[in-house]
């Protein structure tokens, strides 16, 4: 018989959260390092999570009327330079193509760090009349940003994402689109990924290069750091002016249309790991888990066990569930640990005694709860339990968020609360960038968002004491 494989060990998250995270990424076989610094290999299990996210999110995009397209991956330098704020933000982290074959190029091209400029050039060509609006496009692709540091899923030089780019006749419509797409992201995080979010607006300092306003969803990780999980930008007509995009309106006037863009990336997978994972490994939300139920036969070589396990697998698959039956020669104990590491939401154990009693055991990954379930009503029980896993995961993450929001009334207090507890620190704020800079320098926190759900905590800015305009969230972010 084959030698038993080792059960992989990972670092406890309480001992070293960063190492725990890297261990999970590697041991659950989500991702691997390549020979280029900062560029990663999405392995089958990690990529399958992204495929499931893509599949479900794409359907939500299409419901809003968005259409998928694919634009070139290279941007001529002159095109990138057309919008001043935009190029200032992105040029320092562009990878530049300077040679084609053996010839030096007349103009260098950057690999897209984002595609606003390419979309604008195309919009210039295809938008002429009010009948051509709105244009609501989306692109699934990878982008490159030549970052100095990297971390699996959270910061790559190349990462997979989607970028929506839309053009509208009026500013109001474009603002509505910006909000609509932020809500699509927020609902997706909560209803599909079981990740509660805070919805709000970025400060001018933190907004996207070239945008008039950036909306964001911010999540809280296990270690009480913040993760920006998705953003949606309102551009006004700034790019349209820079790229000479006009349409003839119903009164026969030439006017510039208004623009948005919005994106999420594979960093969502990092968010899933750090929101739900535990010291046994990954814990996957059932709706995007590549394997929703793993079947582990017990006393596998006893007569009838494998046959029954295969029949059970077929029944579950026929009901549309993603199922794996592990028939390998490893011990059940090894298999339990392996699929816990991989975060499979439900484990189904089936042995000779179960078969005698026409039942099986279902074990929840999120809390270890065992249920004995009749094989006659297995599909129903499995679906009910998967819903329970989702709800349990969401409730736990929501508690972690709610219990880690702290109010502060001075910079000192904000700093102390962050050091003692982490989490989001809420304060009133005057709206000045100078106060954001002080918060960063003295307390190590950036502004995360000005939440849409405002509360009046007081009249004065916690940093400078001047009259406050808004309540704002601060945090240490990935």
Residue from the set 70, 205, 304, 437 that interacts with its own copies by CB under 8 A: 70
Distance CA 101, CA 103 (A): 6
Cβ contact 219:276 at 8 Å: no
Cβ contact 182:384 at 8 Å: no
Q: Dihedral sign, CA of 200, 205, 208, 212?
A: positive
Give, as ranges, the residues between 8 and 37 that touch its own copies (CB under 8 A): 32, 34-36
Beta bridge partners of 226: 220, 477
| 146 touching its own copies, by CB under 8 A | yes
Q: Is 467 exposed, middle or buried (0-12, 13-18, 19+ CB in 10 A)?
A: exposed
Residue from the set 49, 53, 57, 111 that interacts with its own copies by CB under 8 A: 111
Give, as ranges, the residues between 386 and 445 that touch its own copies (CB under 8 A): none
| 137 touching its own copies, by CB under 8 A | yes
- Scored b (16 or more CB within 10 A) or e, 138-175 reads bbbebbbbeeeebbbbbbbbbbbbbbbbbbbbeeebbb
Q: Which of these segments, 108-116, 188-196, 367-375, 420-428, binds its own copies (CB under 8 A)? A: 108-116
Number of residues that bind its own copies (CB under 8 A): 52
Distance CA 323, CA 78 (A): 51
Give, as ranges, the residues between 38 and 57 that touch its own copies (CB under 8 A): 39-44, 47-48, 50-51
Q: Dihedral sign, CA of 11, 13, 17, 18?
A: positive
Q: How far is the CB of 143 from its own copies (least distance, A)?
A: 10
Give, as ranges, the residues between 287 and 306 that touch its own copies (CB under 8 A): none
- Identify the H or E element spanning 359: strand 359-364
Cβ contact 315:379 at 8 Å: yes
Q: How far is the CB of 157 from its own copies (least distance, A)?
A: 8
Cβ proximity to its own copies: between 279 and 328 the closer is: 328
Q: How far is the CB of 177 from its own copies (least distance, A)?
A: 17
The owner of tokens 């916690």 is: 462
| 100 touching its own copies, by CB under 8 A | yes
Residue from the set 8, 26, 27, 76 that interacts with its own copies by CB under 8 A: 76
158, 161, 165, 171 alpha-carbon torsion, rounded to 10°: -110
Residue from the set 18, 126, 311, 434 that interacts with its own copies by CB under 8 A: 126
Residue from the set 73, 213, 300, 361 that interacts with its own copies by CB under 8 A: 73
Residue from the set 4, 12, 16, 67 that interacts with its own copies by CB under 8 A: 67
| 65 touching its own copies, by CB under 8 A | no
Residue from the set 15, 125, 252, 320 that interacts with its own copies by CB under 8 A: 125
| Contacting positions for its own copies (CB under 8 A) | 2, 32, 34-36, 39-44, 47-48, 50-51, 67-74, 76, 79, 92-102, 108-109, 111, 118, 121-122, 125-126, 131, 137, 141-142, 144, 146, 158, 160
């Amino acid at each position: 018989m084959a030698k038993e494989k080792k059960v992989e060990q990972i670092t406890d998250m309480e001992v070293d959260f960063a190492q725990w995270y890297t261990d999970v990424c590697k041991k659950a076989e989500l991702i691997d390092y390549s020979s280029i610094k900062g560029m990663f290999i999405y392995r089958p299990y990690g990529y399958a999570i992204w495929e499931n996210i893509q599949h479900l999110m794409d359907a939500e995009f299409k419901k809003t009327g968005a259409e998928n397209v694919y634009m070139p991956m290279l941007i001529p330098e002159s095109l990138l330079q057309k919008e001043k704020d935009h190029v200032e933000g992105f040029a320092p982290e562009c990878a530049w193509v300077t040679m084609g074959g053996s010839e030096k190029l007349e103009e260098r091209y950057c690999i897209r760090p984002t595609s606003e400029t390419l979309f604008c050039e195309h919009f210039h060509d295809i938008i002429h009349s009010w009948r051509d609006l709105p244009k609501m496009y989306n692109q699934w692709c990878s982008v490159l940003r030549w970052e100095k540091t990297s971390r699996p899923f959270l910061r790559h030089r190349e990462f997979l994402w989607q970028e929506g780019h839309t053009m509208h006749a009026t500013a109001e419509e474009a603002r509505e689109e910006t909000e609509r797409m932020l809500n699509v992201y927020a609902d997706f995080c909560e209803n599909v990924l079981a990740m509660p979010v805070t919805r709000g607006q970025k400060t001018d300092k933190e907004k996207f290069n070239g945008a008039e306003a950036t909306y964001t969803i911010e999540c809280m990780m296990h270690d009480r750091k913040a993760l920006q999980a998705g953003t949606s930008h309102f551009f006004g007509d700034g790019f349209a002016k820079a790229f000479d995009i006009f349409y003839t309106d119903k009164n026969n006037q030439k006017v510039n249309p208004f623009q948005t863009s919005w994106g999420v990336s594979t960093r969502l997978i990092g968010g899933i790991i750090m929101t739900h994972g535990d010291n046994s490994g990954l814990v996957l939300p059932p709706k995007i888990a590549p394997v929703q139920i793993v079947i582990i036969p017990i006393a596998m070589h006893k007569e009838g066990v494998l046959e029954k396990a295969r029949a059970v697998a077929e029944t579950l698959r026929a009901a549309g569930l993603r199922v794996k039956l592990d028939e390998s020669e490893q011990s059940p104990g090894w298999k339990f640990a392996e699929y816990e590491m991989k975060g499979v939401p439900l484990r189904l154990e089936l042995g000779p005694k179960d078969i005698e009693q026409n039942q099986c055991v279902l074990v929840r990954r999120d809390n270890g709860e065992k249920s004995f379930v009749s094989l006659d009503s297995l599909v129903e029980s499995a679906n009910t339990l998967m819903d329970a896993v989702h709800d349990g995961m969401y409730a736990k993450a929501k508690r972690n968020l709610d219990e880690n929001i702290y109010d502060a009334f001075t910079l000192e207090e904000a700093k102390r609360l962050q050091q003692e507890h982490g989490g989001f620190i809420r304060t009133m704020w005057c709206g000045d960038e100078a106060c954001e800079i002080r918060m960063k320098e003295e307390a190590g926190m950036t502004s995360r968002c000005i939440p849409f759900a405002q509360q009046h905590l007081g009249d004065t800015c916690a940093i400078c004491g001047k009259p406050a305009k808004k309540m704002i969230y601060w945090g240490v972010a990935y």
